[in-house]
Amino acid sequence: MKFIDEYRDPQATARLKREIERITTRPWTIMEICGGQTHAIVKNGIDLLLPDKITLLHGPGCPVCVTSVELIDKAVTLAARPEVIFCSFGDMMRVPGSHKDLLSVKAEGGDVRMVYSPADAVRIAHECPDRQVVFFGIGFETTAPANVAAILQARQMGLKNFSMLMALVLVKPAIAALLSDPDNRVQAFLAAGHVCAVTGYGDYEPLAARFHVPMVVTGFEPLDILQGIFMAIAQLEQGRAEVENQYTRAVRREGNPAAIAMIEKVLMPVDRAWRGLGMIPSSGLGLRTEYAEFDAGKRFDLTACIAEESSICISGLILQGRMKPPDCTAFGTACTPEHPLGATMVSSEGACAAYYRYRRTKAPH
């Protein structure tokens, strides 16, 4: 298949592997910031192809995984209300809150529906005018345009029964938080290609300069990731700290100006709590005042939610790159995809789910 097979070519992979080995002279630690890249790395054994000197860490690149327990609890509270139809992507329905998940609410009689886009929730609101329809608006900058489009559509249709529980997060503040940690080990980042397809990567340049850390915008196929690693190591070996674009077939420096303008019209930066990272200033997107009527957090009283993290799950440490899934005593035993203790085992982009599916033995660090 064109544009797929050529990015999985064994001979090209072998050449890149040799080039990486040739230029690597000392230990380096690189973090991928996207759960899709994490799955590609584990599935294809990319980390096992690399020289022992290179360590790959898995970062907070899965929006389902970084959504705080407090927000999950708010979603559960909303979904249990008899007047509410709660709409969510499938992965979010199985993420445990303090005491239960959305699927449990559904089993208890709550009207919880899996949807494939926020537009589906708008359609349901139009079809059910006597019910309050709430969409769980999770995601990075990648999904922000679709959320905004749904809000604009709901306003155009005059829907008074549609709102969103906002959980959108931003990548750059999370990277800054990781790099500001005194115990930070990350020396270079593979930036998420789909996020940069929307935002561009010009805004990453001050971040790379401030922390003197190379950042390479990278795609999701095996050769994309290997080339991104090669470019990051080349910078590290040469003492450079720049933003480079490996994913040139999909990403431009300026991103998608139309999408950016649409996001800025409806949304604004807000403080957001991240699972594993805590509260990060201006790391989320919330609705501007003129669109506050669509904010489920303001439409419903949700202030009484008190979140409690699992005492066993180490997903927070995994999201910080401090530990890997096999380091958890519950991995593959008390915590499985069928009975998950944390979000990283539930999500299709979660690191624990990747290791459980593709590699249930301890991987090199």
| Cα end-to-end distance, the chain, whole Å | 34
* CATH number assigned to the domain covering 64-170+255-299: 3.40.50.11740
Q: Where are the alpha helices (DSSP H) in the chain?
A: 10-23, 35-44, 46-49, 63-66, 69-79, 102-107, 118-127, 144-157, 171-180, 193-199, 204-211, 222-238, 257-266, 296-299, 315-319, 343-346, 351-358
Bridge partner list, 113: 87
Query: pTM for this structure?
Result: 0.91
pLDDT per position in the chain (365 positions), as tens?
A: 466 777 888 899 999 999 999 999 999 999 999 999 999 999 999 999 999 999 999 999 888 999 999 999 999 999 999 999 999 999 899 998 888 999 999 999 999 999 999 999 999 999 999 999 999 999 999 999 999 999 999 999 999 999 999 999 999 999 999 999 999 999 999 999 999 999 999 999 999 999 999 999 999 999 999 999 999 999 999 999 999 999 999 999 999 999 999 999 999 999 999 988 899 999 999 999 999 999 999 999 876 556 666 778 888 889 889 899 999 999 999 999 888 888 899 888 899 999 999 987 544 44
Domain ranges of the chain: 5-62+172-245, 64-170+255-299, 315-358
Indicate if 64-170+255-299 has the same CATH topology as 5-62+172-245: yes
Superfamily of domain 5-62+172-245: HypD, alpha/beta domain 1 (3.40.50.11750)
pLDDT reported for residue 31: 97
